[in-house]
């Protein structure tokens, strides 16, 4: 059963994703100034982030939420309606969209800092140091993901058992 109290859900996945994303830009050291600027302005950084593994991270949210529903359903005495599943799927999509917006913001900040660094003539090691400080995996992002998962768990319990008010749960 997915553990609703699991701290830092997706923390390691986002850290790995960020590292893979940053490694893709190591080639910039070998390019001329004009090539760097051209690459930094023409490249879709969000697509690079997706190809670095963002899609797998988003899919992990779906697996976690599906696991929550499956585990809760095992306690349910009556069937689960399609409408209930649609409601919970909507919550899943909204939470996934929230992570994608964070990733888009990260990619945009990354691109902006990269271009500013190139234009001002900064050394690539200094630019890379600042880029690492932007961070996709921030405390705020991890907190938002954990809160969203916990809220989904609470919403799923309420929705799945709304027709069974006599059902009681015991914290363990």
pLDDT averaged per 10 residues in sequence order, the chain, 172 residues: 60 91 86 91 95 93 90 76 82 90 93 93 86 84 87 84 72 58
Q: Which two tokens stand for residue 42?
A: 């023409």
C-alpha 38: how far from chain center: 29
Predicted pLDDT at 7 = 66
Predicted pLDDT at 44 = 96
Predicted pLDDT at 104 = 95
Predicted pLDDT at 136 = 84
- Identify the CA nearest to 85 among candidates 160, 167, 163, 1: 160
Contact 33, 118 (CB under 8 A): yes
Predicted pLDDT at 106 = 93
């Amino acid at each position: 059963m997915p553990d609703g109290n699991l701290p830092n859900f997706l923390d390691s996945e986002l850290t790995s994703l960020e590292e893979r994303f940053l490694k893709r830009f190591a080639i910039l050291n070998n390019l001329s100034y004009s090539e760097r600027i051209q690459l930094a302005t023409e490249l879709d950084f969000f697509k690079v982030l997706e190809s670095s593994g963002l899609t797998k991270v988003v899919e992990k949210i779906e697996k976690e939420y599906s696991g929550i529903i499956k585990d809760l359903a095992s306690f349910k005495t009556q069937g689960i309606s399609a409408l209930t599943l649609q409601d919970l799927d909507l919550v899943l999509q909204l939470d996934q969209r929230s992570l994608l917006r964070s990733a888009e913001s990260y990619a945009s900040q990354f691109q902006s800092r990269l271009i500013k660094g190139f234009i001002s003539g900064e050394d690539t090691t200094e630019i890379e140091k600042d880029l690492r400080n932007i961070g996709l995996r921030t405390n705020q992002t991890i907190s938002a993901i954990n809160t969203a998962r916990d809220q989904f768990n609470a919403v799923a319990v309420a929705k799945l058992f709304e027709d069974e008010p006599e059902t009681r749960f015991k914290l363990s």
